[in-house]
Structure 1
Amino acid sequence: MTDAAVYTAKAHAVGGRQGTAKTDDGHLDVKLGYPKSMGGDGQGTNPEQLFAAGYAACFLGALGLVARGQGVKLGEHSLDSEVDLIKDEVSFHIGVRLTLNAPEVDRAVAEDLLHKAHQVCPYSKATRGNVVVELKVA
């Protein structure tokens, strides 16, 4: 990588999907487990939930950046993120749906902001070309 990092997140995982994961600063310390739909007991979180939460938070940051740049006040807003684990011929892949809830913003403006945020969000950039991401306004 040629660009200088402004921040580096550090995490340590043990035991895969049936183990634990924690960050070096202790802010995240989770038990991992298979969801019931995959034969687990549903007693731990899973990588898809963590990815969904991270993507939603990051995307909202990108949305705020784009909205400020266009002089749009978002008012109360939120983002619902759904991450599917999909079986394919070899193993698995993921699919993502992001739904913007911004009731104080005109629908056409919200859709424009959503698509522009998708161009600048680091998670969107990282998944582009590898993951199908559906965008919609509630």
Structure 2
Amino acid sequence: MNHIFRLKADWNGGRNSTGRIESGQLQTDISIPEPMGGPGVGTNPDEMLLGAAATCYIITLAAMLERSSIEVESLTLDAEGVVDVTDNIFTYRSITHRPLLVLAGGQSEETLAKAERLARKAESSCMITRALQGNVEVSAEPTVTFAQKAH
């Protein structure tokens, strides 16, 4: 079964202009970011690629934790994308996911170790990561801990 996603885009001129995209719930202005010589209006392809990889990763990780019956108190993510510019050629080099996974108390150290393994495995299980494979290095650097007991 195929799932079809559609996107509509409008662009208002040359390289340093702005545009707008709409795809389901995603509706935003777009342009080249200021650090790359653009107007910096709305979002841009670099942020959207990072956003696609990060949301796929965190959803995949949440599903894996749920299937493993690991109780999670909180799951947050910092993700970083690195774009190299050499001879005016822009190349997306890497994405690093840094999840902070706080497990509910009362679970074993073995559960903590399993949660960390899942946090690493989620990166290679994500559909977006698989689509980027061979082009962009994607990695995960998880921090997994137990919730602190209230005093």
Structure 2 counterpart of 1:11, from 3, 7, 16: 7
Q: What's 1:65 paired with?
A: 63
Once residues 23 and 138 of structure 2 are traced to their aligned partners in structure 1, the CA distance between those partners, rounded to angstroms, is 30
For the residues of structure 1 that align with 2:141 and 2:39, how far apart are their CA atoms?
Answer: 32
Identity of aligned residues (%): 23
Aligned to 2:81: 83
Q: Contact conserved, 2:123 with 2:138, CA < 8 A, in 1?
A: no
What is the aligned partner in structure 1 of residue 98 from structure 2? Answer: 99
Question: Where is the strand percentage greater, Structure 1 or Structure 2?
Answer: 2
- For the residues of structure 2 that align with 1:56 and 1:73, how far apart are their CA atoms? 21
Q: 1:43 Cα deviation (Å)?
A: 2.5
Q: TM-score, normalized by length of structure 2?
A: 0.73
Bigger CA radius of gyration: 2
1:31 is the counterpart of 2:29: yes
Unaligned runs of 5+ in 1: none
1-structure distance, mates of 2:90, 2:39: 21
Instruction: State the SS of the aligned residue for 1:84.
Output: strand
2:54 aligned residue: 56
Compute the displacement of 1:54 (Å).
2.1
**Aligned amino acid, residue 41 of structure 2:** Q
